[in-house]
């Protein structure tokens, strides 16, 4: 596997490398343009405008995987799933499950703390129309694989929010030498598969619809559905 010049052995070092990344010209231009033009409701705020690292402890048991930062959410606040409606849904559900200190996540200095849980995205920069290109996803996959490799020793469950996250974790686990089912399981809300890591321990991956407005406004994903799948990921170790 080819990495972006280095395999980082600590999350702190990986996070710093992610923040400094300028590998994808289109994403760099977009994230910085959004940070300058801003949304009118946030015109007095300073936007982050850089790649967004993961959030949560390095020894997390539950790993939550998203697609990419929101243009006026994480790209503004600098913390994954923070400052937009998707984050409102996710952190509220995590708080109910005892995995987040507070039920909201509005800014990087709001006092939020995740418990036994870490959140990260497959792509670290906000993409135009929320659609990273195949090349951009491939470039960012090096960071994703590096982070999963660091989290795997303590992780017990992975929760993929959306098909891209589901596909990304399946490919990454295989690249890391894990045994996953063949053929690769299809994504769906509530779907689940087990895999065997190189250490011989059986772990699991759950799928959930992404808490985007497209899904929550239409009722495709309800609070009850999200609460349920997060509780399963946190409790179901069999």
Tens of pLDDT, residue by residue over 216-237, are: 999 999 999 999 999 999 986 5
* CATH (residue range 11-235): 3.40.470.10
121 forms beta bridges with: 66
Chain-centre distance for alpha carbon 33: 23
Stretch (H or E) spanning 188: none
Q: Which pLDDT score is estimated for 237?
A: 55
Q: Are the C-beta atoms of residues 162 and 210 closer than 8 Å to each other?
A: yes
Positions of the chain with pLDDT lower than 50, given as ranges? 1-5, 238
What is the SS3 assignment for 120? Answer: strand
pTM reported for the whole predicted model:
0.95
Q: Which pLDDT score is estimated for 67?
A: 96
Q: Buried b vs exposed e over 120-147: b needs ≥16 C-beta within 10 Å?
A: bbbbbbbbeeeebeeebbebbbbbbbbb
Q: Which pLDDT score is estimated for 2?
A: 40
């Amino acid at each position: 596997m080819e990495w972006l010049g280095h395999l980082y052995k600590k999350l702190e070092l990986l996070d710093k490398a992610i923040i400094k990344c300028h590998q994808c010209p289109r994403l760099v231009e977009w994230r910085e343009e959004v940070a300058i033009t801003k949304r009118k409701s946030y015109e007095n705020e300073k936007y982050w405008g850089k790649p967004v690292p993961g959030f949560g402890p390095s020894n997390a048991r539950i790993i939550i995987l998203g697609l990419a930062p929101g243009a006026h959410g994480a790209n503004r606040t600098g913390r994954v799933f923070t400052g937009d409606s998707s984050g409102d849904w996710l952190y509220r559900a995590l708080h109910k499950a005892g995995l987040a200190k507070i039920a909201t996540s509005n800014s990087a200095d709001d006092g939020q703390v995740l418990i036994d849980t870490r959140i990260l995205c497959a792509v670290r920069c906000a993409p135009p129309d929320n659609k990273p290109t195949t090349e951009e996803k491939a470039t960012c996959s090096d960071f994703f694989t590096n982070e999963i490799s660091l989290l795997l020793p303590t992780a017990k469950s992975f929760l993929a929010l959306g098909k891209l996250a589901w596909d990304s974790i399946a490919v990454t686990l295989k690249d890391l030498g894990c045994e996953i089912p063949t053929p690769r399981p299809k994504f769906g809300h509530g779907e689940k598969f087990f895999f065997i890591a190189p250490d011989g321990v059986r772990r699991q991956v759950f799928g959930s619809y992404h808490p985007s407005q497209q899904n929550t406004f239409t009722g495709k994903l309800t609070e009850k559905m999200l609460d349920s799948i997060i509780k399963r990921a946190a409790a179901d170790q069999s």
